[in-house]
Copies of this chain bind each other. A is one copy, B any other.
Amino acid sequence: MDRELDELKAQVEPALRRRDLPTLAGLLYGTSAAIVSRLLEREDAADRAVLYRLLPREQALEVFELLDSAMRAELFVGLRHEDVARVFEELDPDDRAQLVDELPAGVARRLMSGLSAGERELTAPMLGYARGTIGRHMSTEYVRLQPQLTVGDALSHVRHRGHSAETIYTLPVTDSARRMLGVVGLRELVMGDAHVLVGDVMVDAHQVHATDDAEVAARSLVDAQLLAAPVVDGEDRLLGILTVDDASRILDDAEAEDAARQGASEPLRRPYLTTPVLGIVRARVTWLLVLAVSALLTVQVLDVFEATLEQVVTLALFIPLLTGTAGNTGAQAATTVTRALAVGDVRPRDSLLVAWREVRVGLLLGGLLGILGLVLGSIAFDFGLGAVIGLTLLAVCTLAATVGGVMPMLARAVGADPAVFSTPFISTFCDATSLIIYFGMATWILQL
Protein backbone atom coordinates (compact mmCIF):
# COMPACT_ATOMS: atom_id res chain seq x y z
CA MET A 1 0.00 0.00 0.00
CA ASP A 2 2.88 2.36 0.79
CA ARG A 3 4.45 1.49 -2.55
CA GLU A 4 1.22 2.16 -4.43
CA LEU A 5 0.86 5.48 -2.65
CA ASP A 6 4.44 6.48 -3.49
CA GLU A 7 3.99 5.60 -7.15
CA LEU A 8 0.77 7.57 -7.37
CA LYS A 9 2.32 10.54 -5.58
CA ALA A 10 5.32 10.53 -7.95
CA GLN A 11 2.99 10.69 -10.96
CA VAL A 12 0.50 13.14 -9.48
CA GLU A 13 2.90 15.81 -8.32
CA PRO A 14 4.41 16.84 -11.67
CA ALA A 15 0.89 16.89 -13.15
CA LEU A 16 -0.28 19.04 -10.23
CA ARG A 17 2.52 21.52 -10.86
CA ARG A 18 1.50 21.71 -14.53
CA ARG A 19 -2.18 21.92 -13.44
CA ASP A 20 -2.74 19.13 -16.01
CA LEU A 21 -6.27 18.24 -14.92
CA PRO A 22 -7.07 15.52 -17.50
CA THR A 23 -3.91 13.57 -16.59
CA LEU A 24 -4.70 13.97 -12.88
CA ALA A 25 -8.27 12.75 -13.37
CA GLY A 26 -6.93 9.72 -15.26
CA LEU A 27 -4.44 8.94 -12.49
CA LEU A 28 -7.07 9.09 -9.78
CA TYR A 29 -9.74 7.21 -11.72
CA GLY A 30 -10.22 3.71 -10.34
CA THR A 31 -7.56 4.09 -7.61
CA SER A 32 -8.83 2.73 -4.31
CA ALA A 33 -10.42 5.22 -1.93
CA ALA A 34 -7.94 4.23 0.81
CA ILE A 35 -4.98 5.28 -1.35
CA VAL A 36 -6.61 8.48 -2.62
CA SER A 37 -7.56 9.57 0.90
CA ARG A 38 -3.97 9.10 2.06
CA LEU A 39 -2.70 11.02 -0.97
CA LEU A 40 -5.03 13.92 -0.17
CA GLU A 41 -3.90 13.96 3.45
CA ARG A 42 -0.34 14.50 2.22
CA GLU A 43 -1.09 17.49 -0.05
CA ASP A 44 -1.62 21.09 1.00
CA ALA A 45 -5.13 22.55 1.21
CA ALA A 46 -5.18 24.10 -2.28
CA ASP A 47 -3.91 20.98 -4.09
CA ARG A 48 -6.23 18.84 -2.00
CA ALA A 49 -9.28 20.77 -3.22
CA VAL A 50 -8.07 20.55 -6.85
CA LEU A 51 -7.61 16.77 -6.62
CA TYR A 52 -10.86 16.21 -4.78
CA ARG A 53 -12.93 18.01 -7.41
CA LEU A 54 -11.53 15.67 -10.08
CA LEU A 55 -12.91 12.54 -8.41
CA PRO A 56 -16.03 10.93 -9.88
CA ARG A 57 -19.11 11.37 -7.64
CA GLU A 58 -19.12 7.87 -6.12
CA GLN A 59 -15.37 7.76 -5.48
CA ALA A 60 -15.45 11.29 -4.02
CA LEU A 61 -17.94 10.20 -1.40
CA GLU A 62 -15.95 7.10 -0.49
CA VAL A 63 -12.75 9.12 -0.17
CA PHE A 64 -14.47 11.76 1.92
CA GLU A 65 -15.64 9.14 4.40
CA LEU A 66 -12.05 7.94 4.94
CA LEU A 67 -10.56 11.39 5.65
CA ASP A 68 -9.77 12.54 9.19
CA SER A 69 -12.55 14.69 10.57
CA ALA A 70 -10.51 17.92 10.80
CA MET A 71 -9.40 17.30 7.22
CA ARG A 72 -13.01 16.88 6.07
CA ALA A 73 -14.01 20.23 7.46
CA GLU A 74 -11.00 21.93 5.89
CA LEU A 75 -11.71 20.36 2.52
CA PHE A 76 -15.35 21.36 2.77
CA VAL A 77 -14.55 24.97 3.36
CA GLY A 78 -12.26 24.90 0.30
CA LEU A 79 -14.86 23.52 -2.14
CA ARG A 80 -17.33 25.46 -4.27
CA HIS A 81 -20.74 26.06 -2.78
CA GLU A 82 -22.60 23.68 -5.10
CA ASP A 83 -20.09 20.86 -4.50
CA VAL A 84 -20.43 21.35 -0.77
CA ALA A 85 -24.22 21.13 -0.83
CA ARG A 86 -24.08 18.00 -2.99
CA VAL A 87 -21.50 16.16 -0.87
CA PHE A 88 -23.32 17.15 2.30
CA GLU A 89 -26.59 15.76 0.95
CA GLU A 90 -24.96 12.46 -0.04
CA LEU A 91 -23.01 11.83 3.17
CA ASP A 92 -24.18 9.19 5.59
CA PRO A 93 -26.17 10.90 8.37
CA ASP A 94 -23.64 9.94 11.06
CA ASP A 95 -20.73 11.33 9.04
CA ARG A 96 -22.80 14.45 8.47
CA ALA A 97 -23.37 14.87 12.21
CA GLN A 98 -19.63 14.54 12.82
CA LEU A 99 -18.88 17.13 10.18
CA VAL A 100 -21.31 19.61 11.73
CA ASP A 101 -19.14 19.50 14.85
CA GLU A 102 -16.06 20.50 12.88
CA LEU A 103 -17.48 23.20 10.60
CA PRO A 104 -17.81 26.87 11.51
CA ALA A 105 -21.30 27.23 13.05
CA GLY A 106 -22.62 29.50 10.29
CA VAL A 107 -21.55 27.12 7.52
CA ALA A 108 -23.06 24.15 9.37
CA ARG A 109 -26.39 25.91 9.90
CA ARG A 110 -26.65 26.96 6.25
CA LEU A 111 -25.83 23.43 5.07
CA MET A 112 -28.30 21.78 7.45
CA SER A 113 -31.09 24.08 6.29
CA GLY A 114 -30.26 23.28 2.65
CA LEU A 115 -30.71 19.53 3.19
CA SER A 116 -33.66 17.63 1.80
CA ALA A 117 -36.31 16.94 4.44
CA GLY A 118 -35.59 13.19 4.53
CA GLU A 119 -31.87 13.59 5.10
CA ARG A 120 -32.41 16.32 7.68
CA GLU A 121 -34.71 14.00 9.58
CA LEU A 122 -32.06 11.25 9.57
CA THR A 123 -29.39 13.63 10.84
CA ALA A 124 -31.33 15.51 13.50
CA PRO A 125 -31.42 12.70 16.12
CA MET A 126 -27.61 12.54 16.32
CA LEU A 127 -27.35 16.29 16.74
CA GLY A 128 -29.72 16.06 19.71
CA TYR A 129 -27.04 14.30 21.76
CA ALA A 130 -24.15 16.07 23.43
CA ARG A 131 -20.68 15.96 21.93
CA GLY A 132 -18.69 13.12 23.38
CA THR A 133 -21.72 10.83 23.68
CA ILE A 134 -22.20 7.81 21.45
CA GLY A 135 -25.55 9.21 20.28
CA ARG A 136 -23.58 11.72 18.25
CA HIS A 137 -21.81 8.91 16.39
CA MET A 138 -24.63 6.45 15.75
CA SER A 139 -26.18 5.87 12.37
CA THR A 140 -29.94 6.18 11.98
CA GLU A 141 -29.93 4.14 8.77
CA TYR A 142 -30.46 0.57 9.93
CA VAL A 143 -32.76 -2.31 9.05
CA ARG A 144 -34.99 -3.39 11.92
CA LEU A 145 -36.70 -6.81 12.09
CA GLN A 146 -39.65 -8.08 14.06
CA PRO A 147 -39.47 -11.42 15.89
CA GLN A 148 -42.52 -12.99 14.26
CA LEU A 149 -40.97 -12.83 10.77
CA THR A 150 -39.55 -16.06 9.34
CA VAL A 151 -35.88 -16.08 8.38
CA GLY A 152 -36.90 -16.21 4.72
CA ASP A 153 -39.20 -13.19 5.06
CA ALA A 154 -36.56 -11.37 7.05
CA LEU A 155 -34.07 -11.88 4.22
CA SER A 156 -36.43 -10.39 1.68
CA HIS A 157 -37.19 -7.51 4.06
CA VAL A 158 -33.44 -6.86 4.20
CA ARG A 159 -33.27 -6.99 0.38
CA HIS A 160 -35.98 -4.33 0.14
CA ARG A 161 -34.88 -2.04 2.92
CA GLY A 162 -31.13 -2.54 3.05
CA HIS A 163 -29.96 -0.28 0.24
CA SER A 164 -29.13 2.81 2.22
CA ALA A 165 -28.47 1.09 5.55
CA GLU A 166 -25.12 1.67 7.25
CA THR A 167 -24.84 -2.09 7.76
CA ILE A 168 -27.03 -5.10 7.15
CA TYR A 169 -24.69 -7.52 8.91
CA THR A 170 -26.17 -6.83 12.33
CA LEU A 171 -29.95 -6.54 12.42
CA PRO A 172 -31.73 -5.28 15.55
CA VAL A 173 -34.97 -7.08 16.44
CA THR A 174 -37.64 -4.96 18.15
CA ASP A 175 -41.32 -5.12 19.06
CA SER A 176 -43.74 -2.81 17.28
CA ALA A 177 -42.97 -0.03 19.81
CA ARG A 178 -39.27 -0.20 18.75
CA ARG A 179 -38.32 -1.74 22.07
CA MET A 180 -35.20 -3.92 21.72
CA LEU A 181 -35.66 -7.70 21.87
CA GLY A 182 -32.34 -8.89 20.46
CA VAL A 183 -30.14 -8.93 17.37
CA VAL A 184 -29.62 -11.34 14.55
CA GLY A 185 -26.64 -11.46 12.20
CA LEU A 186 -27.07 -11.61 8.44
CA ARG A 187 -24.90 -14.72 8.70
CA GLU A 188 -27.61 -16.47 10.74
CA LEU A 189 -30.29 -15.46 8.22
CA VAL A 190 -28.26 -16.66 5.24
CA MET A 191 -27.12 -19.92 6.84
CA GLY A 192 -30.41 -20.61 8.65
CA ASP A 193 -33.56 -22.50 7.76
CA ALA A 194 -35.96 -20.14 5.89
CA HIS A 195 -38.97 -21.26 7.95
CA VAL A 196 -37.60 -20.63 11.43
CA LEU A 197 -38.78 -17.46 13.17
CA VAL A 198 -36.42 -14.54 13.70
CA GLY A 199 -37.47 -14.58 17.37
CA ASP A 200 -36.00 -18.07 17.67
CA VAL A 201 -32.60 -17.32 16.17
CA MET A 202 -31.98 -13.86 17.63
CA VAL A 203 -29.57 -13.47 20.54
CA ASP A 204 -29.33 -10.92 23.37
CA ALA A 205 -28.05 -7.63 22.03
CA HIS A 206 -24.86 -6.02 23.24
CA GLN A 207 -26.40 -2.55 23.26
CA VAL A 208 -25.24 0.90 24.28
CA HIS A 209 -27.17 3.95 25.54
CA ALA A 210 -27.18 7.05 23.36
CA THR A 211 -26.00 9.14 26.30
CA ASP A 212 -23.05 6.81 27.08
CA ASP A 213 -19.54 8.21 26.78
CA ALA A 214 -18.50 7.65 23.16
CA GLU A 215 -15.11 6.16 24.03
CA VAL A 216 -16.51 3.73 26.60
CA ALA A 217 -19.27 2.57 24.25
CA ALA A 218 -16.86 2.18 21.33
CA ARG A 219 -14.43 0.18 23.44
CA SER A 220 -17.17 -2.15 24.68
CA LEU A 221 -18.12 -2.91 21.06
CA VAL A 222 -14.53 -3.58 19.99
CA ASP A 223 -13.75 -5.61 23.13
CA ALA A 224 -16.77 -7.83 22.52
CA GLN A 225 -15.49 -8.33 18.93
CA LEU A 226 -18.79 -7.32 17.37
CA LEU A 227 -19.43 -5.67 14.03
CA ALA A 228 -22.19 -3.37 15.30
CA ALA A 229 -24.31 -2.63 18.36
CA PRO A 230 -27.80 -1.13 18.65
CA VAL A 231 -28.01 2.29 20.32
CA VAL A 232 -31.02 2.69 22.61
CA ASP A 233 -32.70 5.39 24.71
CA GLY A 234 -33.53 5.25 28.41
CA GLU A 235 -36.61 3.11 27.72
CA ASP A 236 -34.66 0.54 25.70
CA ARG A 237 -36.09 1.83 22.43
CA LEU A 238 -33.92 1.52 19.32
CA LEU A 239 -32.47 4.85 18.14
CA GLY A 240 -29.67 3.85 15.84
CA ILE A 241 -26.70 1.60 15.29
CA LEU A 242 -23.00 1.92 16.03
CA THR A 243 -20.72 0.13 13.58
CA VAL A 244 -17.23 -1.19 14.24
CA ASP A 245 -15.57 1.19 11.79
CA ASP A 246 -17.06 4.20 13.57
CA ALA A 247 -16.07 2.67 16.91
CA SER A 248 -12.48 2.19 15.68
CA ARG A 249 -12.33 5.79 14.56
CA ILE A 250 -13.55 7.00 17.96
CA LEU A 251 -10.94 4.86 19.75
CA ASP A 252 -8.23 6.01 17.38
CA ASP A 253 -8.98 9.66 18.08
CA ALA A 254 -9.10 8.96 21.82
CA GLU A 255 -5.76 7.18 21.70
CA ALA A 256 -4.15 9.96 19.67
CA GLU A 257 -5.38 12.38 22.32
CA ASP A 258 -4.07 10.27 25.22
CA ALA A 259 -0.70 9.76 23.54
CA ALA A 260 -0.33 13.48 22.84
CA ARG A 261 -1.31 14.56 26.33
CA GLN A 262 0.97 12.01 27.89
CA GLY A 263 3.71 13.82 25.95
CA ALA A 264 2.44 17.22 27.12
CA SER A 265 0.81 18.45 23.93
CA GLU A 266 -2.60 18.57 22.32
CA PRO A 267 -3.35 16.13 19.47
CA LEU A 268 -2.87 17.64 16.01
CA ARG A 269 -5.98 15.91 14.61
CA ARG A 270 -4.46 15.87 11.14
CA PRO A 271 -1.36 14.31 9.54
CA TYR A 272 1.87 15.70 10.99
CA LEU A 273 3.44 16.69 7.69
CA THR A 274 0.45 18.74 6.53
CA THR A 275 0.00 20.58 9.83
CA PRO A 276 1.42 24.12 9.53
CA VAL A 277 4.39 24.82 11.82
CA LEU A 278 2.28 27.37 13.69
CA GLY A 279 -0.37 24.71 14.24
CA ILE A 280 2.22 22.47 15.87
CA VAL A 281 3.43 25.36 18.02
CA ARG A 282 -0.15 26.07 19.07
CA ALA A 283 -0.65 22.42 20.12
CA ARG A 284 2.41 22.62 22.37
CA VAL A 285 2.88 26.15 23.65
CA THR A 286 0.19 26.26 26.36
CA TRP A 287 1.41 23.05 27.90
CA LEU A 288 5.01 24.15 27.81
CA LEU A 289 4.20 27.48 29.43
CA VAL A 290 2.03 25.94 32.14
CA LEU A 291 4.72 23.40 32.94
CA ALA A 292 7.49 26.01 32.92
CA VAL A 293 5.49 28.22 35.26
CA SER A 294 4.87 25.23 37.56
CA ALA A 295 8.59 24.55 37.43
CA LEU A 296 9.19 27.97 39.00
CA LEU A 297 8.24 26.09 42.15
CA THR A 298 11.54 24.22 41.90
CA VAL A 299 13.39 27.53 41.73
CA GLN A 300 11.68 28.62 44.93
CA VAL A 301 12.41 25.35 46.70
CA LEU A 302 16.08 25.63 45.78
CA ASP A 303 16.09 29.28 46.80
CA VAL A 304 15.04 28.22 50.30
CA PHE A 305 17.98 25.79 50.43
CA GLU A 306 20.53 28.17 48.89
CA ALA A 307 22.49 28.44 52.16
CA THR A 308 22.74 24.62 52.36
CA LEU A 309 23.87 24.52 48.73
CA GLU A 310 26.56 27.11 49.43
CA GLN A 311 27.91 24.92 52.25
CA VAL A 312 28.03 21.74 50.15
CA VAL A 313 28.04 22.60 46.45
CA THR A 314 28.50 18.89 45.68
CA LEU A 315 24.80 18.43 46.54
CA ALA A 316 23.94 20.26 43.31
CA LEU A 317 25.56 17.53 41.23
CA PHE A 318 22.77 15.07 42.00
CA ILE A 319 19.79 17.34 41.41
CA PRO A 320 19.06 16.25 37.81
CA LEU A 321 19.67 12.57 38.64
CA LEU A 322 17.24 12.63 41.57
CA THR A 323 14.51 14.74 39.95
CA GLY A 324 14.86 12.69 36.75
CA THR A 325 14.51 9.35 38.55
CA ALA A 326 11.51 10.61 40.51
CA GLY A 327 9.94 11.84 37.28
CA ASN A 328 10.55 8.53 35.53
CA THR A 329 9.06 6.51 38.38
CA GLY A 330 6.02 8.78 38.49
CA ALA A 331 5.60 8.60 34.72
CA GLN A 332 5.77 4.81 34.77
CA ALA A 333 2.96 4.55 37.32
CA ALA A 334 0.87 7.27 35.67
CA THR A 335 1.18 5.71 32.22
CA THR A 336 0.23 2.26 33.44
CA VAL A 337 -2.79 3.48 35.38
CA THR A 338 -3.95 5.86 32.62
CA ARG A 339 -3.92 2.95 30.19
CA ALA A 340 -5.72 0.70 32.68
CA LEU A 341 -8.41 3.37 33.06
CA ALA A 342 -8.74 3.78 29.29
CA VAL A 343 -9.31 0.06 28.70
CA GLY A 344 -11.60 -0.27 31.72
CA ASP A 345 -9.26 -2.45 33.81
CA VAL A 346 -9.53 -0.11 36.80
CA ARG A 347 -12.20 2.36 37.88
CA PRO A 348 -12.01 5.38 40.20
CA ARG A 349 -13.42 3.35 43.10
CA ASP A 350 -10.26 1.17 42.92
CA SER A 351 -8.12 4.15 44.03
CA LEU A 352 -7.11 2.64 47.37
CA LEU A 353 -6.21 -0.68 45.76
CA VAL A 354 -4.08 1.15 43.21
CA ALA A 355 -2.40 3.29 45.87
CA TRP A 356 -1.52 0.23 47.96
CA ARG A 357 -0.05 -1.58 44.96
CA GLU A 358 2.00 1.44 43.94
CA VAL A 359 3.31 2.00 47.47
CA ARG A 360 4.74 -1.53 47.39
CA VAL A 361 6.06 -1.21 43.84
CA GLY A 362 7.65 2.15 44.75
CA LEU A 363 9.25 0.72 47.90
CA LEU A 364 10.77 -2.16 45.95
CA LEU A 365 12.05 0.03 43.13
CA GLY A 366 13.23 2.73 45.54
CA GLY A 367 14.88 0.15 47.77
CA LEU A 368 16.86 -1.27 44.87
CA LEU A 369 17.91 2.11 43.49
CA GLY A 370 18.56 3.38 47.01
CA ILE A 371 21.04 0.60 47.76
CA LEU A 372 22.80 1.29 44.48
CA GLY A 373 22.86 5.01 45.28
CA LEU A 374 24.21 4.36 48.78
CA VAL A 375 27.02 2.11 47.53
CA LEU A 376 28.05 4.22 44.53
CA GLY A 377 27.73 7.49 46.47
CA SER A 378 29.83 6.14 49.35
CA ILE A 379 32.56 4.95 47.00
CA ALA A 380 32.70 8.09 44.83
CA PHE A 381 32.22 10.64 47.64
CA ASP A 382 31.70 9.67 51.28
CA PHE A 383 29.28 7.58 53.32
CA GLY A 384 27.26 10.58 54.48
CA LEU A 385 26.49 11.74 50.94
CA GLY A 386 25.87 8.12 49.90
CA ALA A 387 23.30 7.78 52.67
CA VAL A 388 21.58 11.02 51.65
CA ILE A 389 21.31 9.88 48.03
CA GLY A 390 20.22 6.35 48.94
CA LEU A 391 17.50 7.42 51.37
CA THR A 392 16.29 10.15 49.02
CA LEU A 393 15.93 7.61 46.20
CA LEU A 394 13.95 5.27 48.46
CA ALA A 395 11.61 8.05 49.55
CA VAL A 396 11.08 9.74 46.19
CA CYS A 397 10.49 6.49 44.28
CA THR A 398 7.81 5.45 46.77
CA LEU A 399 6.16 8.84 46.73
CA ALA A 400 6.40 9.23 42.94
CA ALA A 401 4.94 5.77 42.21
CA THR A 402 2.06 6.36 44.62
CA VAL A 403 1.23 9.83 43.38
CA GLY A 404 1.72 8.71 39.77
CA GLY A 405 -0.76 5.89 40.31
CA VAL A 406 -3.37 7.88 42.19
CA MET A 407 -3.37 11.13 40.16
CA PRO A 408 -5.00 9.63 37.03
CA MET A 409 -7.66 8.01 39.27
CA LEU A 410 -8.42 11.33 40.93
CA ALA A 411 -8.53 13.07 37.56
CA ARG A 412 -11.06 10.55 36.27
CA ALA A 413 -13.08 10.80 39.50
CA VAL A 414 -13.50 14.56 39.06
CA GLY A 415 -14.29 14.13 35.37
CA ALA A 416 -10.98 15.40 33.97
CA ASP A 417 -8.84 13.62 31.37
CA PRO A 418 -6.46 11.33 33.28
CA ALA A 419 -3.78 11.82 30.61
CA VAL A 420 -3.77 15.58 31.25
CA PHE A 421 -3.26 15.36 34.96
CA SER A 422 -0.85 12.49 34.90
CA THR A 423 2.49 12.37 33.18
CA PRO A 424 3.44 16.02 32.57
CA PHE A 425 2.15 17.32 35.89
CA ILE A 426 3.53 14.40 37.80
CA SER A 427 7.04 15.06 36.60
CA THR A 428 6.84 18.69 37.71
CA PHE A 429 5.34 17.67 41.03
CA CYS A 430 8.07 15.05 41.48
CA ASP A 431 10.78 17.59 40.69
CA ALA A 432 9.67 19.88 43.48
CA THR A 433 8.98 17.24 46.13
CA SER A 434 12.17 15.33 45.42
CA LEU A 435 14.17 18.52 46.00
CA ILE A 436 12.47 19.08 49.34
CA ILE A 437 13.13 15.48 50.39
CA TYR A 438 16.72 15.66 49.15
CA PHE A 439 17.62 18.82 51.07
CA GLY A 440 15.66 17.63 54.08
CA MET A 441 17.73 14.43 54.16
CA ALA A 442 20.96 16.38 53.61
CA THR A 443 20.21 18.81 56.45
CA TRP A 444 19.37 15.93 58.77
CA ILE A 445 22.11 13.43 57.91
CA LEU A 446 24.95 15.84 57.17
CA GLN A 447 23.77 18.09 60.02
CA LEU A 448 23.92 21.29 57.97
Please give the residue numbers on chain A whose beta carbons come within 8 Å of chain B beta carbons, in ascending order: 1-2, 32-34, 38, 41, 65-66, 155, 158-159, 162-163, 168-169, 186-187, 190-191, 204, 206, 220, 222-225, 227, 244-245, 248-249, 252, 255-256, 258-260, 262-265, 268, 271-273, 277-278, 280-281, 283-285, 287-289, 291-292, 295-296, 298-299, 302-303, 306, 309-310, 313-314, 316-321, 323-325, 327-329, 331-332, 334-340, 343-347, 350, 353-354, 357, 360-361, 364-365, 368-369, 372, 423-424, 427-428, 431-432, 435
Contact = CB atoms under 8 A, between A and B. Distances in A.
A417 to B, nearest CB: 14
Nearest to A356: B277
B265 A34 contact: no
Contacts of A1: 220
A327 B313 CA distance: 24
A264 to B, nearest CB: 5
B332 A272 contact: no
Contact of A320 (B158, B225, B323, B344): B323
A258 to B, nearest CB: 7
Contacts of A220: 1, 34
Contacts of A353: 273
A395 to B, nearest CB: 15
A357 B280 contact: yes
A323 B325 contact: no
A85 to B, nearest CB: 25
A319 B320 contact: yes
B163 A186 contact: no
Contacts of A364: 277-278, 281
A263 B186 contact: no
A245 B224 CA distance: 9
A314 B298 CA distance: 13
Contacts of A262: 259, 262-263, 335
Given A299-B317, A329-B288, A431 B263 contact: no
A170 to B, nearest CB: 10
B288 A303 contact: no
A19 to B, nearest CB: 24
A320 B190 contact: no
Contacts of A337: 272
Contact of A263 (B223, B309, B334, B432): B334
Nearest to A159: B191
Contact of A321 (B158, B298, B368): B298
Given A277-B361, A289-B369, A159 B190 contact: yes
26 contacts: A33-B224, A34-B224, A162-B190, A169-B186, A222-B245, A225-B249, A248-B248, A252-B343, A255-B255, A260-B335, A262-B263, A263-B334, A264-B331, A264-B335, A277-B364, A280-B357, A281-B364, A284-B361, A288-B328, A288-B369, A289-B369, A295-B320, A295-B324, A302-B319, A313-B313, A320-B320
A336 B32 contact: no
B190 A328 contact: no
Given A169-B187, A265-B336, A324 B345 contact: no
A335 B431 CA distance: 21
Given A190-B159, A245-B225, A314-B306, A324 B427 contact: yes
B190 A365 contact: no
Contacts of A223: 34, 38, 66
A225 B190 contact: no
Nearest to A423: B263
A32 B289 CA distance: 48
Contacts of A41: 345
Contact of A302 (B162, B249, B273, B320): B320
Given A33-B224, A225-B249, A324-B427, 20 more contacts: A34-B206, A155-B190, A158-B190, A169-B187, A222-B245, A259-B262, A273-B350, A277-B361, A285-B365, A287-B332, A288-B332, A289-B368, A299-B321, A306-B317, A309-B313, A313-B313, A319-B320, A320-B432, A323-B324, A328-B427
